[in-house]
A and B are shown apart, each in its own frame.
Chain A
Amino acid sequence: MSGMRASVSAERRQPAGEVTAGGRYTIRAEGVRKLYGRFAALDGLDLTVERGTVHGLLGPNGAGKTTAVRVLTTLSRADAGRAEVCGLDVRAEPEKVRARIGLTGQYAAVDETLSGRQNLVLFGRLFKLGRRGAARRAEELLEQFGLTEAADRSAGQYSGGMRRRLDLAAGLVLTPELLFLDEPTTGLDPRSRNQVWATIRSLVGLGTTVLLTTQYLEEADQLADRISVLNRGRVVSEGTPDQLKSVMGADRVEVVLRDTDDLDRAASIVRAVTGGPAEVDTDTRRISAPTVDRVSALTGLARALHDAHVALTDIGTRGPTLDEAFLHLTAEHGDATRTTTEAA
């Protein structure tokens, strides 16, 4: 389905008569390094993003997501490597790059003293829409993003969700070829988050390519066609959400015991039921094991432990947490590096 959508949007873009530069890829970065003092925020970043897709950049705090966005949006200059956005070298032709992209999120704020409407008119004027054009576009965006009623209040008085919507609207005064969304839902309540998600989904229909940075696996899963996992300034894994989840390890079934004495006995039951290795945490009396079929693992385990008279305080299944995924992926990445070194 997402493949189909990508081709539809590619077609929509063509009739505009615009020769779209860069061919199949909207972003191509190779070996990008960015140093802050001796700290390498980006340490050889390779990234390709296909035109008309939503690409997730997933990683923990400090992984280099924001630095990557800053380099690609011409806000920072890379110390080494090459980066092309819309077929243009960000270092050689930053002005032309800026004329094609939109940036919203964490670090691209709106003016908090101005009202929502004044903000949008300001951005419209800076996008050379002219006085009337900017005013008309501001009205449309306010309406579209459900901000008409709050239009004349200072953006500083907006709720988190409203501000984020205004921020998105400001990034869409003109439809960009490539939109950068830097942690668009960090700190939002679930309702506002869903609103922002819905907005992002509707954008894709316009043929805009989206680069989305997020700390949340779920968000990347919900929105992205492909995901690159970033750690310490490098992409450590890349693929569709499904591919990535399978790399990140299976779902786990987990039990918490009432009595420490039962740990050994329970661990062997868990091993027998799931057929896999069980992880035992003595302090929290927690035993967990990977599983392919969550439902049968859970019911089977509940029955077996009940029959063996092991008292539980909790039982359940959970997907791999991002922490686990990162441990997994970075460990794997480290191995790969070591192998290459040995081979060489």
Chain B
Amino acid sequence: MTTHSSPGPVQRAGRADDAGLRPPAAVPVLPLRPPTTPLARLRWAAGDGWTLTRRNMTHVVRAPEEIALYFSLPIVFVLVFGYVFGGGMAVPDGGGYREFLVPGVFVMTMLYGMGATATAVATDVGRGVVDRFRAMPVARSALLTGRSAADLLRALLETTALVATGLLVGWGWHRGVGNALLALSLVLLLRVAITWVGIWIGLVVPNPDTVGVIIFPLAFPFTAISNVFVAPELMPGWLGAVSEWNPLSATAAAIRELFGNPGVAGDSWAGEHALLLAVAWPVLIIAVFAPLAVRRYQRAGD
């Protein structure tokens, strides 16, 4: 590389003829100054996270058919299990099956949200939007926290729809609004944990289609071998034990207790400490999968 001498082809001399494209007007020029203090970094990360949360919520608004699908699934479950199978289902305390079922469907809905999370993440990665964000002065955490926050808001909508459906089919809470709200917070905490698993899956799979293939076989055993539909006492001994230690069962048992619904878990350790486990499990899952997802995201280019 020596001198920069020879003139280029004549055609290059600033022809702005096509499509009325004018040279860009005076605009602020990069660089931005990345924040330096920890507090400024936190504000920067929170700002970017919120911007991307809003982006994800805009997706819901622009493609409402998807959320309609996600709303309808739990409602169908309540109706099918509550009315079609409900007659044949026994509840240990002898309460109504639908009273038993609705908290289980809360939990199941949170689990199946994992598919939506993973698909959204895998789609972003596949289309190169993630690369664009990663090459911009945007907080590295923002895409993941934005996803997590948007999915939490979405879970809030789903939960609201389920509460309404539950009330219509005769479910209710019997231990005061405070306990009911506490129960709903446990449901949302579970959703946050599941979201991080979903984000990790979305970053690991090669493309969004894979998510659709693997998510059901992955999620179904968790709902089947749990207390979502059937009380563990009614299962064969070892299966019941597995079922009681299932994170989904912990949340379902805890919220049944808080709502005052039938089917309060049995006398095993897991059953007696359902509330503790309903907090411990999600926290543990977040502690494992959030760092995994963040690391995976940071290395997405390699």
Contact = CB atoms under 8 A, between A and B. Distances in A.
A202 B14 contact: yes
Contacts of A226: 4
B218 interface: no
A109 B128 contact: yes
B14 A205 contact: yes
Interface stretch (A235-243, A288-296, A303-311, A330-338): A235-243
A68 to B, nearest CB: 13
B24 A201 contact: no
B154 interface: no
B131 A107 contact: yes
Contact of A95 (B29, B34, B51, B63): B34
A247 interface: no
A111 B134 CA distance: 14
B33 to A, nearest CB: 7
Given A99-B30, A109-B129, A206 B23 contact: yes
30 contacts: A1-B13, A2-B12, A98-B135, A99-B137, A106-B128, A107-B128, A108-B128, A109-B127, A109-B128, A114-B58, A125-B51, A126-B133, A127-B136, A127-B137, A137-B27, A144-B21, A174-B28, A175-B28, A175-B29, A175-B30, A177-B31, A194-B18, A198-B16, A201-B15, A203-B23, A224-B8, A240-B5, A240-B8, A241-B9, A242-B8
A16 interface: yes
Given A18-B29, A95-B137, A172-B27, 10 more contacts: A1-B12, A16-B29, A75-B301, A98-B135, A106-B128, A175-B29, A202-B16, A206-B23, A224-B8, A240-B8
B1 A170 contact: no
Contacts of A154: 62
Contacts of A238: 1
A198 B58 CA distance: 33
Given A75-B134, A126-B133, A206 B24 contact: yes
Nearest to A122: B55
A293 B222 CA distance: 77
Interface of B: 1, 4-25, 27-34, 47-48, 51-52, 55, 58-59, 62-63, 127-129, 131-138, 301-302
Q: How large is the interface on A (under 10, 10 to 19, 20 to 34, 35 or more residues)?
A: 35 or more
Contacts of A122: 51, 55
Interface of A: 1-3, 6, 16, 18, 48, 50, 53, 70, 73-77, 86, 95-96, 98-103, 106-115, 118, 122-123, 125-129, 137, 140-141, 144-146, 154, 170, 172-177, 191, 194-195, 197-199, 201-203, 205-206, 221-226, 238, 240-243
Contacts of A174: 27-30, 32
Contact of B6 (A109, A113, A114, A240): A240
Contact of A127 (B12, B32, B34, B134): B32
A195 B21 contact: yes
B51 A126 contact: yes
A113 B17 CA distance: 31
Nearest to A238: B1
Contact of A176 (B30, B48, B133): B30
Contacts of A195: 18-19, 21
Contacts of B34: 95-96, 99
Majority SS at the chain B contact face: loop
Given A114-B55, A122-B55, A99 B33 contact: yes
A50 B138 CA distance: 27
B31 A100 contact: yes
Contacts of B128: 106-109
Contacts of B138: 98, 126
A76 B301 contact: yes
B85 to A, nearest CB: 38
A6 B4 contact: yes
A175 B24 contact: yes
Contact of B302 (A16, A77, A170): A77
A140 B25 contact: yes
Contacts of B13: 1
B61 to A, nearest CB: 10
B18 A110 contact: no
Output the residue of A6, A125, A194, A223 with the most chain B CB within 10 A.
A125
Nearest to A114: B58
Nearest to A180: B135
Contact of B4 (A175, A176, A225): A225
A138 to B, nearest CB: 12
Nearest to B10: A1
Contacts of A110: 129, 132
Contacts of B136: 98, 103, 123, 126-127
Output the residue of A48, A75, A113, A225 with the most chain B CB within 10 A.
A113
B35 to A, nearest CB: 9
A3 B14 CA distance: 14
A221 B180 CA distance: 69
B23 A111 contact: no
A137 B234 CA distance: 63
A107 B133 CA distance: 11
A259 B30 CA distance: 64
Nearest to A2: B8
A127 B17 CA distance: 30
A101 B129 contact: no
Nearest to B3: A3
A20 B28 CA distance: 15
A72 to B, nearest CB: 10
Nearest to A106: B128
A222 B12 contact: yes
Nearest to A146: B19
B17 to A, nearest CB: 6
Nearest to B27: A175
A106 B129 CA distance: 11
Contacts of A96: 31, 34
Nearest to B138: A126
